[in-house]
Amino acid sequence: MNILITGATGFVGSHITDALLKKGHEVTVCVRNELAAVKRWAGVKTVPVDYVTDNQVSNWLNRLESIDVVINAVGIIRETGNQTFTGLHTATPIALFKACEEKGVKRVIQVSALGADENCFVSYQKSKKAADDTLRNMTLDWFVLRPSLIYGEDGTSTRFFNFLASFPLLPIIDGGKQLIQPVHIDDLVDVVLACLTSPNTQQTIDVVGPESFTLAEWLQRLRTKKGKGKLYIIPIPYMLMKRMVHVLKYIIPLFTPDNLKMLQQGNVASSEGMNKLLGRKPRELP
């Protein structure tokens, strides 16, 4: 297949791109940093894209020539400068999807996020859902994938949680009772690969791990994997952390008010749709 992928040099996009190339697909990578793409995938066609300004259908039409499948893996976890959720998660993807419809692209796979549903309440989730809803109302063969916390050794969130787990004594919001359901990056990649050929299109699929557990339990599992002992927790009231996060976000990028709210909400779902697509259960996590 001739596949165009956006956000190719990101954590999720790079793993998907590696898998597509390994399977022998012709891949066009849309990137902000061409040098990074060339270093990783010598000889692969690269297209420079500005996801902030390329928000018109006309920006994408020529790029979609002879493309069979489009995979949108663009995503940011926090807004910086002119890189906003509305721009990168909503306006530009919608322009891309409309261009796909106009050019007759066969299939579109949208990597969204767990929680981007009718109950979403923060800008990150809302911006994803807006693009998802637009795609769902199109005549394309589409898939909307909603992954939970994605686990992988080279992932930013994994490095962050491993960093937290390195401390034997740790202050955690409400004692770390929040529920999470991490999914391995390889499972997300396998779901994307399955979507390339599945005849059952126009699906929204939650991509989650095999089990849910509390944040405290997850951190302890990471400590155990590293051969470390028991994690001792100092519970921090949510309202106190809510005030502190406005300062902490400048020190630790993942500490933002929206991320705090999403963590407190929990991040779990059924893996039924994913299991059916793959014909198996998700990978066990450490």
pLDDT per residue rounded down to tens, the chain (286 residues): 999 999 998 999 999 999 999 999 999 999 888 888 888 898 899 999 999 999 999 999 999 999 999 999 999 988 888 999 999 999 999 999 999 999 999 999 999 999 999 988 899 999 999 999 999 999 999 999 999 999 998 888 888 889 989 999 998 888 999 999 999 999 999 999 999 999 999 999 999 999 999 999 999 999 999 999 999 999 988 777 777 776 666 666 666 777 777 777 778 999 999 999 999 999 988 6
Structurally, the chain folds into a number of domains equal to 1
**DSSP conformational letter for 267:** B
3-class DSSP state of 272: helix
The residue segments making up the domain with residue 91 are: 2-152+182-208+268-278
In a domain, 157, yes or no: no
- Cβ contact 117:257 at 8 Å: no
Nearest to 100 by CA among 143, 138, 146, 45: 138
- Kindly report the CATH number assigned to the domain that includes residue 10: 3.40.50.720
**What are the E-state strand segments in the chain?**
2-6, 26-31, 45-48, 69-72, 107-111, 141-147, 150-151, 169-173, 179-180, 183-184, 203-207, 213-214, 232-236
In a domain, 257, yes or no: no
Q: Quick: pLDDT tens for 144-203.
A: 999 999 999 888 888 888 998 999 999 888 899 999 999 999 999 999 999 999 999 999
In a domain, 223, yes or no: no
In a domain, 272, yes or no: yes
The pLDDT assigned to 154 comes to: 82
In a domain, 233, yes or no: no
Question: What global pTM score does this model have?
Answer: 0.91
In a domain, 232, yes or no: no
